[in-house]
Structure 1
Amino acid sequence: MKIVVTTPTGRVGSRVVQLLVQAGMQPTVLVRDAGRLDPALIGRCDVVEGDSGDERAVIRATLGADALYWVDPPTGDDDPVAGYLRMGRTAASAVSTNAVPRVVFQSSVGAEARSGFGEIDGLGGTEELLNATGAHVTHLRCGYFFTNLLMDLESLRAGVLSTTLPAEHQMPWVDPRDVGDVAAARLLARDWTGVSTLGVLGPRDLTFPEVARIVGEAVGRELVVDQMAEGDAAAGLRAAGLTEAQVEGVLGMSRGQLGFTPENQRNYLSTTPTTLGAWAWENLRPLLAT
């Protein structure tokens, strides 16, 4: 079985590749720079060098594919939604051209809304593009990645966890490695058909005060939640050089959650095992020790 994996050096993609290799497969990986691959994978993967936005490269990589793991990578476009849609069109073209029978797409909670969720609207558009190919498609509706905390190390060192969401708002937090586990299992299965969605939601929903307590206990320092006004957050993003569409893309992801009920509810299938505390002990504690 030929399984193609995009973004194989990412936090999820690298886990997918590892599990496929451990399962005895030799996956095809589409990677912009083959030099970034783990040297241990040499000879265990078929490597196609190319960008996920290069339609010819994606078509070349997926020729004869039985299954595709697709991720819309960040593009750096002035409008992130347009960038994700451009990537989605590339994927859909390759799936249609090569009649790829099965696709597993790394989507997000909120993509089902189709609008009002900032950057995630681009993932919703990609879902529709893939659905229209006629392939069997599973959309993984993922929760908020633990690894997003790595972008706020300086703030965490100062004892602050910032958010524009209300303190009482609960949302699913998930380890990207667990997303990789679910994706690999789905890619290896051959008997599912149709278009479906599957939540990948971590062990439980958390409020930001709960996150501050859990992470604080893991890293050995007290954290307080700073509930920022959206205008202040926007000003900070503009000062960092983001365009107006990029600012809206970031803030819209939080704004869209208010009053929103996800399509994929928490149940046995959508719950994954790794706790935020365990992840923070392994990944944040060493970084915040100094």
Structure 2
Amino acid sequence: MITVMGATGRVGRQVVAALDGEEVRAVGRSAERLAAVGVVPCVGDAGDAAFLTEAFRGADAVFTMLPVDEHEPDHRGAQEAKAAAIATAVRAAGVPYVVALSSLGAELPTGTGFIEGLHAHERHLAGTGARVLALRPGWFLENAADALPVVEALGCVADSLDPDLALPMVATRDVAAAAARALCTRYRTGPVELLGPRDLTQTEVARVLGTALHRPDLPYVRLPDDEMVAALVGAGFSPDAAARHTGMTAALNSGRISAVRTAENTTPTGIEDLVGGWVA
């Protein structure tokens, strides 16, 4: 038995699909969406340790992640509480092996914005007695798809990342494939970075999107942090969550978060493999 948290989310649903043929419990907040996944549903809250304990009980391996809620007034506090609840459940259920969705930079305890919550996730799991593999992907390529409404509204790609900062960008399907492999084989522990096929700048991402949209001159605009926070709050983020985003991009811009590319952490799917599906 394998339990998958976030089973209807961007990564989790692909983990479930990659585990085809395995006995899987799918954890999520929506009974309707879980029913569409086609495996055993477990409906509840990721901050409820008692619920998670039952969802994890009897599992040979568990895929954990921190659900993102940008509306939380105290986003960092909410992430800490969920990380603690997940670890409590792993310990109480006697889970032997965990694959945790984390991020590049999760080894740093502070100064990384959103990623601080993933540091807490890894830290709490380390005290459970389970064998833990922490997947640390780079920037998700699918973040570019999320930018399409901004492109339509403003005629540009915009964020608080420096335009010429080359980041490792990885497809979520490659992250899911790595998670599924580990859940089935339990072959290793410790942190595992996933960096995509090559590093990309935001200017390059805008160029790829522009070509697909038949707008070859589509620009990338680097917003100052205060303007980025205001834009995110206008889009529904809490002020704390918006500040966590710019805290993360500041850590990336400064080079505080970085990775060394190797054959082992290079994954196959590039932005050109995905962009056609985003603009179809």
Aligned-pair CA distance for 1:38: 5.5
- What TM-score results when the alignment is normalised by the length of structure 1? 0.89
Q: Is the 8 A contact 2:13 2:37 kept in 1?
A: no
Tell me which residue corresponds to 2:142.
147
Contact 1:197/1:264 (8 A) holds in 2:
no
Matched residue type, 1:145: F
Alignment partner of 1:221: what SS?
coil
Instruction: Report % sequence identity.
Output: 33
Partner of 2:222: 227
Aligned to 1:89: 84
- Structure 2 distance, partners of 1:30, 1:203, is 31
Corresponding residue SS for 1:203: coil
* 8 Å Cα contact 2:135/2:192 also seen in 1: yes
Residue number in structure 1 paired with 2:194: 200
For residues 41 and 194 of structure 2, the distance between their equivalents in structure 1, rounded to whole angstroms, comes to 28
Q: Distance in 2 between matches of 1:29 and 1:203?
A: 30
Contact 2:34 2:41 in 1 (8 A): no
Q: How many residues align?
A: 277
The one-letter amino acid of 2:23's match is Q
Q: Give the alignment's Cα RMSD to 1 decimal.
A: 1.8
- CA-CA distance at 1:160 after TM superposition: 0.5
**Shift of the alpha carbon at 1:131?**
0.8
Q: Which residue of 2 aligns with 1:16?
A: 15
Please state if 1:166 is matched with 2:162. Answer: yes
Per-residue CA deviations over 1:153-174 (Å, capped at 9, x if unaligned) read 2322243111222222111111
Unaligned runs of 5+ residues in structure 2 are none
1:104 aligns with 2:99: yes
State TM-score, norm by structure 2. 0.92
Q: CA 1:17/1:240 → structure 2, altered by over 3 Å: closer, same or farther?
A: closer
CA deviation digits over 1:226-271, x for unaligned, max 9?
A: 1211122223234445443222111111011133355652212211
Structure 1 unaligned regions, length at least 5: none
CA drift at 1:219: 2.7
Match of 1:190 among 186, 190, 204: 186
Structure 1 stretches of 4+ with a deviation exceeding 6 A read: none
What is the DSSP-based 3-state SS (H/G/I as helix, E as strand, rest coil) of the residue aligned with 1:272? Answer: coil
Q: Is the 8 A contact 1:53 1:86 kept in 2?
A: yes
Amino acid corresponding to residue 73 of structure 1 in structure 2: P
What corresponds to 2:174 in structure 1? 178
